[in-house]
Amino acid sequence: MNLQIDDILNKLVDECLSAPAFATLDAQQKEVQKQKILNHFYTRILFITIDNLTDEQYGQIQDLKPEDPQFEQKIESFTQEMPQLLDLFDQTLKKDADYIKNTGQLPSLEEDQSQNPL
């Protein structure tokens, strides 16, 4: 059993890639798609986190550069105070995974709900 952070999402990505929509891809193509899906998941996690920040928390990161180590530290610190967040990640990522499996496309992160082809 391996519960490292990477593996939690990698497992979900592998599940997506095992869907028929990706059956025709060769190993190299799958690796490319894997990174795209993984990035999508992490982006989703980050966006959910941002949406769930309090005004005060948001204020603290608003003006930080994303590359600033403080940004990461604060994000991690804030999420530790959100007991419901993991469940939200769970629900949202699994829905995204279902979408990817069914359509072979990434769900939109933007407002227009257009799909992002992989």
- Can you tell me the distance from the alpha carbon of 16 to that of 39, in angstroms, rounded to the nearest whole number? 13
Structure tokens that stand for 86 in this block? 């993991």
- CB-count exposure of residue 82 (10 Å: 0-12, 13-18, 19+): middle
Single-letter amino acid code for the residue at 7: D
- Told to check if 25 binds another protein by CB under 8 A, we report no
- Told to check if 51 binds another protein by CB under 8 A, we report yes
Shortest separation between residue 23's beta carbon and another protein, angstroms: 22
Q: Which residues are near another protein by CB under 8 A?
A: 1-6, 8-9, 11, 35, 38-39, 41-43, 45-56, 58, 61-62, 65-67, 71-73, 75-93, 95-96, 98-99, 107-113, 115
